[in-house]
């Protein structure tokens, strides 16, 4: 990767936003089940059942977001 790309303000900003977005996404994927189990007192199976709508929603919206991105017709 050419590090000179980071001289461009827009590229650096986009990289930072993506980095923080992904940190928050993966943090929530890790912390939400812990929250449900520890603070709400649910067991592992009930926690999994409780989080099914999150997985179904993500599975339905990922193809939609790929379709809406510019230039995605080559990928899909």
**Residue 50 and residue 43: Cα distance in Å, rounded?**
10
The two tokens of residue 62 are 């990922």
Domain residue spans of the chain: 3-68
In tens, the pLDDT along 2-24 reads 888 888 899 899 899 999 999 98
The two tokens of residue 11 are 């590229």
Q: What is the DSSP string of 20-74?
A: HHHHHHHHHHHHHHHHHHHTS---HHHHHHHTHHHHHHHHHHHHHHHHHSTTTTT
Q: With cut-offs at 50, 70 and 90, classify the pLDDT of residue 46.
A: very high
């Amino acid at each position: 990767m050419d590090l000179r790309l980071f001289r461009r303000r827009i590229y650096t900003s986009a990289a930072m936003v993506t980095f923080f977005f992904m940190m928050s996404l993966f943090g929530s994927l890790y912390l939400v089940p812990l929250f449900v189990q520890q603070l709400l007192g649910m067991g592992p199976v009930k926690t999994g059942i409780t989080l099914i709508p999150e997985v179904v929603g993500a599975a339905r919206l990922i193809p939609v977001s790929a379709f809406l991105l510019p230039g995605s017709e080559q990928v899909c």
